[in-house]
Amino acid sequence: MISKIFVAAAAVAFSVVGCRGELPAEARASVRSVAGLDIVPLSIVSSGRSHRFQVEVAGTPEQQSRGMMYRDRLAPNRGMIFAFPEPRPASFWMKNTPNSLDLIFIGSDGRIESIAADAVPFSLDHLTSIGPVAAVLEIAGGRAAELDLAPGDQVSWERPQAR
């Protein structure tokens, strides 16, 4: 009986996710990470190519202060987005973060302002934006270089719906 329920649930999940691994818009708002954060699709257009990610949204001050701390791994097409209500200078550190990250600072126009690549795990050094930014994206360390991301590339993501 349990195996039939599992198979049925898997079939439903596959039909919802489909072959491309993306959820339909109406289902995305309810997707949450193990940490309880909304997960939304994000894309970066660089040199005419679109790179897709699924990112957790650190939306509250508490979620933003914790960020990727204590995470023991990060898949290549996963990350975390920190969106701010108003553009502001941003400064991050790697305290209690065991994995190297690339921090992508995003301007209010949605373009990459700068990238702090391969941030050193557990470092207390501040990684700062050049100027005011509307958001910061954290992805696995070295991934920005792998994808040849650069300042000026366009970043877009779906904002979670209010709950």
d(CA 108, CA 134): 5
Check if the beta carbon of residue 81 is closer than 8 Å to that of residue 42: yes
Alpha helices in the chain (DSSP H): 2-17, 25-28, 61-66, 143-146
**What domains are defined for the chain?**
25-157 (2.60.120.1140)
pLDDT digits over 59-80, tens only? 898 999 999 999 888 999 999 9
Query: How would you class 67 by CB atoms within 10 Å of its CB: exposed for 0-12, middle for 13-18, buried for 19 or more?
Result: buried
Residue given tokens 């997707």 in the structure block:
31
104-134: per-residue pLDDT in tens? 999 999 999 999 999 999 999 999 999 999 9
Task: Give the pair of three-digit tokens for residue 5.
Answer: 């329920």
Q: pTM for the whole thing?
A: 0.80
